[in-house]
Chain A
Amino acid sequence: DIQMTQSPSSLSESVGDRVTITCQASQDITNYLNWFQQKPGKAPKLLISDASNLQTGVPSRFSGSGSGTDFVFTISSLQPEDIATYYCQQYNNLPYTFGQGTKLEIK
């Protein structure tokens, strides 16, 4: 299985800050990477597919980049409603695997 390692596992930032989360795959996954946002008690929401493709309706402060094994998820200016846990997921190989999640809190 491809292991997905997210960093950090948690972070606390202030409103307006730039937030960066990294995701590293244990082998090359080209750009077959998704980013999901999950708020407490809710289903995950797809924000970005194909490493950098922002889904329709998702605010432009969210972005993704990377290819191969190293990927970055960025929130350009943190908003209170962005408090959630964020997961990366690879879909290059079966089984499709998720990172362990990054819990984002407001400082």
Chain B
Amino acid sequence: QLQLQESGPGLVKPSETLSLTCTVSGGSISRSTYYWGWIRQPPGKGLEWIATIYYSGSTYYNPSLKSRVTISIDTSKNQFSLNLRSVIAADTAVYYCASSSGGITMKVWGQGTLVTVSS
């Protein structure tokens, strides 16, 4: 049973970089046809897709964030990561990592981690 767990700082200062890691257990991150992604949810608001990476390394970004976002995979650690640069208060949100099991739809989600951008 695939399980995902987000980790990273809960507080980031404006203009700095938000870095989150998703640790995958119960399966290999190199699994063929799997996609891995990040979605966020500002407090009290709806869901926003941020980025997705294919097992092969192909990446897909939300154009509204593309200039500030990098998603990457570390197969040696069975993890994938999100970096969001030059953060502002509007980047405050619960960040979820998620995975598909073939196809693009995110079927397995982490529990989410709240990141607050504040000085």
Cα distance A42–B109 in the bound complex, in angstroms:
10
Q: Closest residue to A99 on the B side, CB-wise?
A: B46
Main secondary structure of the interface of B (DSSP, over half): loop
Cα–Cα distance between A45 and B111 once the two chains are bound (Å): 11
The answer to whether B48 and A98 have CB atoms under 8 Å apart is yes
Contact with A along B61-83 (1 / 0, CB 8 A): 11110000000000000000000
| Contact assessment for B105 and A43 in the assembled complex, using a CB-CB cutoff below 8 Å | no
Q: Are B109 and A91 in contact, with the CB atoms below 8 A?
A: no
Q: From the candidates B62, B103, B109, name the one contacting A43 in the complex (CB within 8 A).
A: B109
Q: Does A80 contact B (CB under 8 A)?
A: no
Report B-chain residues with C-beta under 8 Å of the C-beta of A45: 109
Which of B49, B60, B111 lies in contact with A98, CB distance below 8 A?
Answer: B49
Q: Indicate the member of A36, A43, A55, A99 with the most B CB atoms within 10 Å.
A: A43
Q: Is the beta-carbon distance between B62 and A87 smaller than 8 angstroms?
A: no
Residue interface mask A82-107, B partner, CB < 8 A = 1: 00000101010011111111000000
**B47 touching A95, Cβ below 8 Å:** no
A98 touches B47 (CB 8 A): yes
Interface residues on A, range: 20 to 34
Q: Which residues of B contact A36 (CB under 8 A)?
A: 47
Chain B's nearest CB lies how many Å from the CB of A60?
A: 19
Residues from chain A with Cβ under 8 Å of B104 in the complex: 91, 96
**Minimal beta-carbon separation of B52 from chain A (angstroms):** 8
Q: What are the 5 closest A-B residue pairs judged by CB atoms, nearest first?
A: A43-B109, A95-B62, A96-B49, A98-B47, A49-B105
A-B contact pairs, 23 of them (CB 8 A): A1-B63, A34-B105, A36-B47, A42-B111, A43-B96, A43-B110, A43-B112, A44-B39, A44-B109, A46-B107, A49-B103, A49-B105, A89-B47, A94-B60, A94-B62, A94-B63, A95-B62, A95-B63, A98-B46, A98-B49, A100-B46, A101-B46, A101-B47
Chain A interface (Cβ < 8 Å from any Cβ of B) = 1, 34, 36, 42-46, 49, 55, 87, 89, 91, 94-101
